[in-house]
Structure 1
Amino acid sequence: MKYFCTLLLLLTGGKPALAQTPKIDSLSRLIRQAKTDTARINLANAKTALLTQTNIDSSISLALKTIEQSKRINYKKGEAYARMHLSYNYSFKGNYAAAKANLKRAEALSLGDSAQLMRVYINYGTTYGMQSKYDSSIAFLEKSKVMAERLADSSALRRIYMNIGISYSMQSNLPQALQYLQKSLTIAEAQHDMGSQAFSLVNMANTYKTMGNVKESVQTYQKGLKLAKQESFKNVELNAYANLADIYDEMHNTQKAYETAIKAANLAKEIGDDGMQATSLAKAAKMLADQKKFAQADLLIKQAITIADASNQPLNIHQAYSNMGYILKRQDRCAEAIPFYEKSFAVLKETDIYDQQTGKSYEELAACYEQTGNFPRALATFRKSAAIADSVRSKENVQKTTELTMTYAFDKKQQVAQAEQQKQNVLAQARQRALQWGLGFVVLLAAVSFYAYRTKQKANLLLQFQKQQLETQKLQLEDQKKQLQTTLTELQQTQQELLQAEKMATMGKLTKGIVDRILNPLNYINNFSRTARELLGEIQAVTQKHQDSFSAEEQDELEETTTMLEQNLTKIHEHGNSTARILQDMQKLLKERSSSYVVTDINLYLTQQMDTSFKKALATHMPTVPIKLNVSLAPQALPVNLLPVEFGEVLDGLIDNSCYTLVEKCRRVKGFEPRLEVTTCLVDDQVQLQVRDNGRGIAQKEIAQLFSPFFTTKPTAKGTGLGLYTSKEVVEEYLQGQMRINSIENEYTQVTILLPLTSTFLTPVV
């Protein structure tokens, strides 16, 4: 099942906003510095447009505030533009009644101002487009197009052409769609507007995708993505990724399709676009179903349906419910799938969608009717599917669109060739004029110098010869000087690198020696502190026997002193042990690594190592905690190059971290069931090892620092902050793999290690 995602642009005036914090910060400063109320309101409207690209809820809040300020000073233009922004944002949230009410008020405020009224009509077109009522959308956009042409407003025409093209595309009128999108792109290129070029390119790519022109579609998506990232247009990135997921699905690369759909869903959530988030999650669920991961697919599609229902956008609701039907059908649960398909088509009754996906969904529903024995409805539904498919992919439709594509590409090449020819003509004319002037000057000079040349010919020849010799010598000297300078620079650089390498080696040896020297006295300190605590206990026992010989005041003072001394010794022992652990980890960090690599099956290695690591971690923390260990290994052998000792330390550290956080959560959460999962699998020619626990998790602000030396989320007495740092060094520098951590606070922590799949030895890293 494939989706066709469209991109509707904010068309209330001005250039599309960049989703950049510096621009928003700059506008906030200008608003504070504004000297008049009208200037402040105009700047607030500009900021509202910016926020629409990054945070729809913040944009709505600012628009409401701006409306109240405009009404207070009777600034109708400011109120009209604020209501247009508010209408657009309400449409994204699915609140179409509020969107239309604000547009009606903006229309009343704009009477008599053609430019402002034109933008109101553009907003009407956008609002109907978001409701998938494309006939109504085109009607308002055509009305605004006439006004924009009369006003010669090329920026408005660029946006109008784009949205008309989107509407025709959703009705599968591909020639009309491509024609308008090409017009929009031409204006954007003439204005050097990279953001609008990105919008147009992504929507043109959608049209190529519907045509089945995968190569042209992918190339155009990539061009649009490059410009969108350059301009920080996250909503354009979102639509590009959402549609690229469909293409990867057509190529049967379901894993990449799933990852791309999830990327689109995360972007939609960040922007606040509920509809696109629902659609992207529905796609990801479909990809999971195609991989027969039905349990995960069910969870994801239910989340998509919940978000889609809240968005109140017919196309997104249709896509979510039809995908639920598809997932059930894949499990041969056609009777359960039928209500979801029927729900998906019910929400399209008042829309103007005639796309390929709708036809495909009808075909799937027909198959479900047939399987459940409802043959009359199966036949009727199949006929609808065939009619839509014939309309969308008709030979005439695709042929006209292909001709337009080829004509547009030819025109672009012809324009480039004409520009190059004009450039060459100008250069040729300049050369010709320079030659004529030079020739005239030479003739004049020859006439004046003729007599002198004849009388001084020998002297001039001799002088010229000497001059040439001097020039040759000068050039030779300059070449020698450059060569010597280059050689000197290279020697100096090499010398500096050698000195730095020698210095770092010396520092490493010195540091290792210092650590070794410190550990011995530190161990004495720890032992003496423990012994002192025992002696203090004996002193307290003796004083207890003879407490009658002390006065009450002396007893209180003695008790206070011994208590304080006991606390101090406890702290000395606690921090001494913490320091010793840090130094021991530094010894591991500074010691020379083994250069003996072993090719081994990671599954066999884990079978031998896991039990030891798990028991060691439990013994360290709390053996009585009932941690459930689930080891799920890939069915096939997964050979990798390992340093067995160093990788064993990595595994020990990961299991120890998981057991620690599970024990801590058991202490704090009543009825908590601790789980630890270790899995292996093959992912794109790489061996993936995952260690996941359902413990306390890690705060997002701390994840970026986890691999920094001496950073730890544990208390001072529990962690040193070197375990993950050394583990990442072993995995990435010595084993040429990758290591990353994902976590949600109070839910889970997951460590993923990717190692190259191999059957040969690696070259040791020195």
Structure 2
Amino acid sequence: MKCITAALFLLLFGKIACAQTSPLDSLSYLISKATSDTAKINLRNKKIRLLIRENLDSAEQQGLQNLQHAQKIKYAAGQAAARINLASSYSLKGNFKPAREHMDIARKLFLDLKDSLGLSNTYATYGMYFGIQGKYDSSIFNLEKAIGIAERNNYQERLATYYGNIAIGYQMQSNFRQALAYQQKSLDLAVANNDVSNQAYTNLNLGLIYASMKDTLRSRLTLLKAIKLAKKEKIKNVELYAYSNLSNLYSEKKEARKAYNYAIIAARLGREMGDYGIQAASLSKAAGALETQEQFARASALAKQAIALADSSGQSYIIFQAYSRMGSILRGQKQYKTAIYYLEKSVNALENTETYREDVGQTFKDLSYCYEQTGNFNKALSYYKTSAQIADSVLSRDNIREVTELSMTYEFNKQQEAQQLAQKNKDAITRTRQWALGIGLALTFVLAVVSLRAYRNKQKANALLQGQKEEIQNTLTRLKSTQAQLIQSEKMASLGELTAGIAHEIQNPLNFVNNFSEVSAELLDELEEELQKGDTEEALAIAGDIKENLKKIQHHGSRADGIVKAMLQHSRPSSGEKKLININSLIPEYFRLAYNNVQAKNKEFNVTFTTDFDNSLSKIEVNPLELGRVLVNIFNNAFYATQQKKAQLNGQYQPEISVSTYQQNGHVEIKVRDNGTGIPENLKNKIFQPFFTTKPTGQGTGLGLSLAYDIVTKQHGGKLKVETKEGEFVEFIVILPIA
């Protein structure tokens, strides 16, 4: 199983001047000599920031004591700084609730104090807090705030830390160019300030970026350099993460012995620091190295230790790693039933996260294999599909990002080069004219030479621009091809949702047919008995009941037949053929299909549906299937928004969707309104853009409303608009011309 690279966020401490003693000893000495309570609190806060690097439990204990002292003397600045230290300790230990509480209070204190340096540290701590949880967009957002304050106030010492941390967010999003740029800025500042601590952190994270880029040699050398600097500065957490990631490198190189040795060193350091999460992760890696050597007994023992530590850490991904490793070891020993227990526990740990990585997909694949070996083929198929979906999600997401980024960056760079070249030509011509005016006939020969050179440069520039144009065109063609494939996938997904809704609806008449058939069969038995008895009157009564049942069977059979015909109609590719229809008859049909599909997935979901139709509507010429896709996409967005709001309000809320139609100025308008979460004003203009989505990763492609917009505007010559108020409602307005 592939191990995930662990990035280490830089902690917020400054350089401490000391002679031959360690920084911690120097601060302890200064604290003992301090003459005021505020000075002692400030020095203790500095000491705790350093202690976080070595022992989280001690840092937490001393941090709480220092906070109490600051509260006792009502020293607001000292309280805020102490809370930032506690937030850092709690975040690194995976104890996120108290971490958030301390940061929120510190932010308010710094705002009241108008302390911009403290405020930048707070935003940077928010960035670390979100980054550790894998919420990289929020991490980058807060770190950008911290960087803005630091750059405006020239906080050079803090900028190195902020640059390093924001780089981690970009790295984990596979934006390696941006990550490398920020890490290099961090390293340059650390070197300029002779800040060895930040150099150690930055070299560690540079090593992780190189590993992600498959540059194994540079990664190993940079990690070893980080270890050397960390030992010099006695920074245990840098050592710990560097050894843990060296284990990853050697694991991928199939050098199990070295992978095991480095993982064990990392686990020991994690134990010394009180960082149970990384200790558990390192033991999982060591168990994996033993597993590849088929030393299953030792591997199982380490995996059990990892599980106990992971459970106490409370970090979802660490728990997943530990249980998944035990499941993999048992699978290798063909103990499939026991392996299933641990593999199920591992995937359940990720239930409320957004983690869709290759190793998660491999765990689902292992589960599928184990269920197949135990004869449970339904679950085997289900888990195999999930593993395939994760693999496709990772691949498509990476491909889209890569193609889009490369095409945009490439085009921008080439335009810039062309502009620079054109400017050079203009400058050359200007200089040539000035020389000609000033010197005259004596420089005619020089002018001719320069003109010839300019002409050749122009020819070269034209040839270069033509080649660049062709390269850009090829890149854009590939991008359009990728987009077309995704749009087709979205159309098929929309068709699948319609079909699922129809299939759910057809179950109702089929249930009636089955029930009346069973009752009729029983009545026939009774009829036969009465005829044998000679009771003609009772026999006639039973025959009448059978006749009524047959009528009901015929009625519900006709219903099923109609639904099947509708399903066949939906399964056909759109021909683009338009028909004159009354929109009022189309809306309830597609609402029912979309609603049935949602209820098939979530039986507890319900929504109040109301209509206000204009009965005097003119028939309009539309493609019913394509317009149905528009309605289904709008309804699906309404269902999602109302479900989200219901979850936020803990059920104290009733979802409502209303649809109205009316005719004016040669147009028919359809308004679909829901009382869900609404759309933020800053996102309102983006919702019809391809690939833009506010849904979590894996729950939306960002193409549904984009396709709806194209169908309404391009295929039907209409308009699609949206009105919204965040937290209250969204109203989509479809405007279609009357033929």
**What TM-score, normalized by structure 1, do the two folds share?**
0.49
Output one character per residue of 1:658-705: Cα deviation in whole Å (capped at 9) or x when no partner. Answer: xxxxxxxxxxxxxxxxxxxxxxxxxxxxxxxxxxxxxxxxxxxxxxxx
Alignment of 1:134-533 (within 5 A): 134-372=136-374, 373=377, 374-390=379-395, 394=399, 397=402
Give 1:341's aligned amino acid.
Answer: L
Q: Distance in 2 between matches of 1:191 and 1:345?
A: 46
Alpha-carbon contact 1:92-1:311 (below 8 Å) kept = no
Compared CA separation, residues 357 and 145, structure 1 to 2 (3 A):
farther
Q: Distance in 2 between matches of 1:241 and 1:101?
A: 33
Q: Distance in 1 between matches of 2:279 and 2:403?
A: 30
TM-fit CA distance, 1:78 = 0.7
Q: Distance in 2 between matches of 1:105 and 1:78?
A: 12
Q: Distance in 1 between matches of 2:343 and 2:90?
A: 28
1:121 to 109, 120, 123: 123
Q: What are structure 1's unaligned runs of at least 5 residues?
A: 405-766
TM-fit CA distance, 1:140 = 1.7
Q: Distance in 2 between matches of 1:398 and 1:278?
A: 37
Give 1:42's aligned amino acid.
Answer: N
Output one character per residue of 1:301-340: Cα deviation in whole Å (capped at 9) or x when no partner. Answer: 1110110111112221222122122212212233333343
TM-fit CA distance, 1:133 = 2.5
TM-fit CA distance, 1:59 = 1.2
Q: Distance in 2 between matches of 1:114 and 1:84?
A: 14
Q: Distance in 2 between matches of 1:34 and 1:90?
A: 28
Give 1:173's aligned amino acid.
Answer: N
Q: Distance in 1 between matches of 2:356 and 2:190?
A: 29
TM-fit CA distance, 1:77 = 0.7
Compared CA separation, residues 92 and 17, structure 1 to 2 (3 A):
farther
Counterpart for residue 66 of structure 1:
66
TM-fit CA distance, 1:262 = 0.5
Counterpart for residue 528 of structure 1:
none
Q: What are structure 2's unaligned runs of at least 5 residues?
A: 410-739
Compared CA separation, residues 400 and 175, structure 1 to 2 (3 A):
farther
Counterpart for residue 630 of structure 1:
none
Compared CA separation, residues 336 and 173, structure 1 to 2 (3 A):
farther
TM-fit CA distance, 1:25 = 2.2
Tell me, what secondary structure is at the counterpart of 1:209? Answer: helix
Q: Distance in 1 between matches of 2:2 and 2:242?
A: 14
Alignment of 1:599-678 (within 5 A): none
Alpha-carbon contact 1:334-1:371 (below 8 Å) kept = yes
Counterpart for residue 91 of structure 2:
91
TM-fit CA distance, 1:169 = 2.4
**What TM-score, normalized by structure 2, do the two folds share?**
0.51
Give 1:194's aligned amino acid.
Answer: V
Q: Distance in 1 between matches of 2:344 and 2:173?
A: 21
Output one character per residue of 1:432-463: Cα deviation in whole Å (capped at 9) or x when no partner. Answer: xxxxxxxxxxxxxxxxxxxxxxxxxxxxxxxx
Tell me, what secondary structure is at the counterpart of 1:252? Answer: coil
TM-fit CA distance, 1:242 = 0.6
Q: Distance in 2 between matches of 1:109 and 1:233?
A: 30
TM-fit CA distance, 1:228 = 1.8
Counterpart for residue 498 of structure 2:
none
> Is 2:79 aligned against 1:79?
yes
Q: Distance in 2 between matches of 1:134 and 1:396?
A: 16
Tell me, what secondary structure is at the counterpart of 1:53? Answer: coil
Compared CA separation, residues 50 and 318, structure 1 to 2 (3 A):
same
TM-fit CA distance, 1:80 = 0.5
Q: Distance in 2 between matches of 1:204 and 1:398?
A: 24
Q: Distance in 2 between matches of 1:67 and 1:239?
A: 29
Q: Distance in 1 between matches of 2:76 and 2:32?
A: 22
Alpha-carbon contact 1:322-1:361 (below 8 Å) kept = yes
Alpha-carbon contact 1:365-1:378 (below 8 Å) kept = yes
Calculate the aligned-residue CA RMSD, in Å. 2.8
Q: Distance in 2 between matches of 1:8 and 1:375?
A: 37
> Is 2:30 aligned against 1:5?
no
Q: Distance in 2 between matches of 1:391 and 1:219?
A: 32
Compared CA separation, residues 16 and 259, structure 1 to 2 (3 A):
farther
Output one character per residue of 1:10-63: Cα deviation in whole Å (capped at 9) or x when no partner. Answer: 544424999x97332222221111111111111111111121122222211211
TM-fit CA distance, 1:268 = 0.8
Q: Distance in 1 between matches of 2:238 and 2:397?
A: 25
Tell me, what secondary structure is at the counterpart of 1:288? Answer: helix
Give 2:291's aligned amino acid.
Answer: A
Output one character per residue of 1:114-155: Cα deviation in whole Å (capped at 9) or x when no partner. Answer: 221111111112122222332322222222222222222233
Compared CA separation, residues 371 and 210, structure 1 to 2 (3 A):
farther
Compared CA separation, residues 98 and 140, structure 1 to 2 (3 A):
same
TM-fit CA distance, 1:253 = 1.6
Q: Distance in 1 between matches of 2:236 and 2:222?
A: 17
Q: Distance in 2 between matches of 1:346 and 1:135?
A: 24
Tell me, what secondary structure is at the counterpart of 2:223? Answer: helix
Compared CA separation, residues 156 and 371, structure 1 to 2 (3 A):
farther
Tell me, what secondary structure is at the counterpart of 2:279? Answer: helix
Q: Distance in 2 between matches of 1:400 and 1:231?
A: 39
Alpha-carbon contact 2:280-2:322 (below 8 Å) kept = yes
Counterpart for residue 43 of structure 2:
43
Counterpart for residue 591 of structure 1:
none
Counterpart for residue 103 of structure 1:
103
Per chain length, whose mean CA-contact separation is higher, i.e. which structure has more relative contact order (CA < 8 Å, sep 6+)? Answer: 1
Please identify, of 150-159 and 308-317, the stretch whose mean Cα deviation from structure 2 is larger: 150-159
Alpha-carbon contact 2:10-2:164 (below 8 Å) kept = no
Q: Distance in 1 between matches of 2:232 and 2:397?
A: 34
Compared CA separation, residues 109 and 396, structure 1 to 2 (3 A):
closer
Give 1:81's aligned amino acid.
Answer: A
Counterpart for residue 414 of structure 2:
none
Alpha-carbon contact 1:11-1:119 (below 8 Å) kept = no
TM-fit CA distance, 1:171 = 3.3
TM-fit CA distance, 1:222 = 1.9
Q: Which has the larger radius of gyration?
A: 1
TM-fit CA distance, 1:272 = 1.4
TM-fit CA distance, 1:269 = 0.8
Q: Distance in 1 between matches of 2:351 and 2:17?
A: 34
Alpha-carbon contact 1:171-1:354 (below 8 Å) kept = no
Compared CA separation, residues 250 and 12, structure 1 to 2 (3 A):
closer
Q: Distance in 1 between matches of 2:356 and 2:163?
A: 20
Output one character per residue of 1:260-308: Cα deviation in whole Å (capped at 9) or x when no partner. Answer: 1101100111111111000001111111122222122111111101101
TM-fit CA distance, 1:343 = 3.0
Q: Distance in 1 between matches of 2:209 and 2:396?
A: 15
Give 1:129's aligned amino acid.
Answer: G
Give 1:203's aligned amino acid.
Answer: N
**Matched-pair identity in %:** 43
Give 2:14's aligned amino acid.
Answer: G
Give 2:265's aligned amino acid.
Answer: K
Compared CA separation, residues 244 and 360, structure 1 to 2 (3 A):
farther
